[in-house]
Structure 1
């Protein structure tokens, strides 16, 4: 062995040249590439396109936002599948069953930082807008607009910094996911109100990132706050997903039969079923068992359908949420693309 090659290592370290190659990058990203190459329903992408009918974000900025959200979304799925011990994602084996848990976790974390790196390309535009606003205020010797009078896009730019906007939503996402896991592992059934608050954080986080970044880069409708509608759509989407997990043959093909029961998850119909008849502990005991075979799952689904009527209740809630979403879309000026998305999401459509 030639030890002499280390004699002048300090000099070499003073002028570092990265040895990171495209081959190494590809190898480290394999779990991410695996899941990203098999896209799902792409609802978030369609929602971004729909909201852009209102916001008219320049294409170069919108492309960055789409990439950031795509990176964060797929990275979060890699971790979510580990936390839920899932077997299938989009009809194929989950990434960690192929690449292992350590590599998949590392890849997911790596992709989070890649998303922040992508976000950097939005910063010059943000800084220039902030400076121009500041210069305008100085030259006019007039006070800055009050919080209520400032455009929502300007508020995002001036008061938050886009890194902090994304960071706040990732914190919300992990808080929601943390509660979901805590309830599952402690076998503690939330109330419907607690469940909706959790979903607002967990499911709404990534969509809010997209729309808030779009609002910060918008060229039209900069005074409009679209976030309440975004939150409503996120809650609707998750409750619908919970219903379909227990009722849809298509979900069985892509994720397995009634996987929420195998995960011990307190989904919306399950929360209603438990709360509707709290003296009967059948569902709680089934969740504790994390059943993998169909027998207990079929029994629980029958109980939710015939005894507590939880699926009927869930459908009624979905119809109520959908009606409010459509009314809000109309109030905001109408949006045919958003209406079409809701049409496709309608259960039974």
Structure 2
């Protein structure tokens, strides 16, 4: 008989009573290593700029805005960890992707864990309903929360999004994100080219998912302009950003340094210029054949890019679309009263022909 076997004699009784976690900081640090790795090399901080910009209108209290920013970072970087695995990417922000260092299983687990950390972070924003004595003059719509002054009660002011809806917001938008990502993967793996409208809708779900989550949470916590709908502008910026990213992936030397040369072709991805090129001359199978090969060397990539540039004029078309979307975004900024931070962001993202 082993000496330690007696410790299991009354094991059930040790499981009773209040649970106490044995989880340590060292274990937490190891679990988060892929996340710590990707965040140690920050990107363009576009999401952070969007939060700051929209807050010029919404004036979210500082403590709540800090929560929103932390949650935004958690959601965004967790989604990148998963995205890099699903795309079999090699580089992110100029360095090897996390799963090539820490392995796919650990990186998936970390990304999922970080999603829940973000959700836990947002719990600080959920209203706590105060209990009241029975009073026939007080209706159910006039209950106060301990984090809102009387002037912000839903009964007295029009608020498009209530802080009571935070759980539904997060769940709905994370579902949208996964809907979009699922279609993107399905098209790639079945070599099915979507229509341009289908692609734009996918981008609205996928790229817009995290941004809309943060946008709606900010609107729920806003102290000004609580009845203004900023979601259409948020969607427009998200779609503009993704189409721009698609263009730059095939055209920009900076993107080559950060993600590799024309990585979308290596991933077999149906990006915006690629979709246009295929649909512009559907009888020509050149691009479909290149995508099927998932080329890693430059030769086929250069050939496909020249075809998109000179034969189907897909880069010219993409630039024309970007110009239209950017113009509409700037007009909407002006209609909403102007916003120097978001205007500066559009200036930075502007792509010259």
TM-score by length of 1: 0.92
Q: 2:59 aligns with which of 51, 56, 60?
A: 56
The count of aligned residue pairs is 334
Match status 1:136 vs 2:139: no
TM-align CA RMSD: 1.9
| CA displacement at 1:133 relative to structure 2 | 8.7
Distance in 1, Cα, partners of 2:139 & 2:36? 41
Counterpart for residue 308 of structure 1: 312
User: For residues 186 and 251 of structure 1, what CA distance do their matches in structure 2 show?
Assistant: 27
CA distance in 2, matches of 1:24, 1:348: 48
Displacement of 1:137 in angstroms is 7.8
Q: 1:186-225, aligned counterparts within 5 Å?
A: 186-225=190-229
Aligned CA distance change for structure 1 residues 211 and 70 (closer, same or farther; 3 Å): same
Q: How does 1:120-135 map to 2 (within 5 A)?
A: 120-124=123-127, 127=129, 134-135=140-141
The one of 16, 19, 24 aligned to 2:22:
19
CA deviations on 1:128-157 (whole Å, 9 max, x unpaired) are 6xxx9945389xxxxx97xxx94213xx33
Map 1:282-301 onto structure 2 (within 5 A): 282-301=286-305
Indicate the structure with greater helix content. Answer: 1
Which residue of 2 is the match for residue 37 of structure 1? 40
Q: Tell me if the contact between 2:35 and 2:78 (Cα under 8 Å) persists in the aligned partners.
A: yes
Instruction: Return 5+ residue gaps in structure 2 as ranges.
Output: 131-137, 145-153
Structure 2 partner of 1:258: 262
How far apart, in 1, do the equivalents of 2:315 and 2:281 lie?
14
Runs of 4+ more than 2 Å apart? 132-138
2:115 aligned partner: 112
Question: Which residue of the other structure, out of 277, 281, 290, is the alignment partner of 1:277?
Answer: 281
What is the deviation of 1:17?
2.2
Identify which of 235, 247, 262 aligns with 1:231: 235
Distance 2:207 2:228 in 1: 22
Residues 135/266 of structure 1: CA separation in 2 closer, same or farther (3 Å cut): closer
Structure 1 residue 152 corresponds to structure 2 residue 142? no
Aligned with residue 347 of structure 1, among 339, 346, 351: 351
After superposition, the C-alpha distances for 1:250-304 in whole angstroms (9 at most, x for unaligned) are 0000000000000000000000000001110000000000000000000000000
SS class of match (1:20): coil
Kindly provide the CA deviation profile for residues 167-207 of structure 1, in whole angstroms up to 9, marking residues without a partner as x: 10000000000000000011110111001000000001111
Question: Aligned with 2:222: secondary structure?
Answer: coil
1:3 aligned to 2, 5, 26, which one? Answer: 5
Aligned mates of 2:185, 2:139 — CA distance in 1: 44
Gaps of 5+ in 1: 139-143
Counterpart in the other structure of 1:70: 73
**Distance in 1 of aligned mates of 2:188 and 2:31:** 31
Partner of 2:106: 103
| Aligned position for 1:141 | none
Displacement of 1:124 in angstroms is 2.9
Q: CA deviation at 1:7?
A: 1.7
Alpha-carbon distance in 2 for matches of 1:247, 1:63: 36
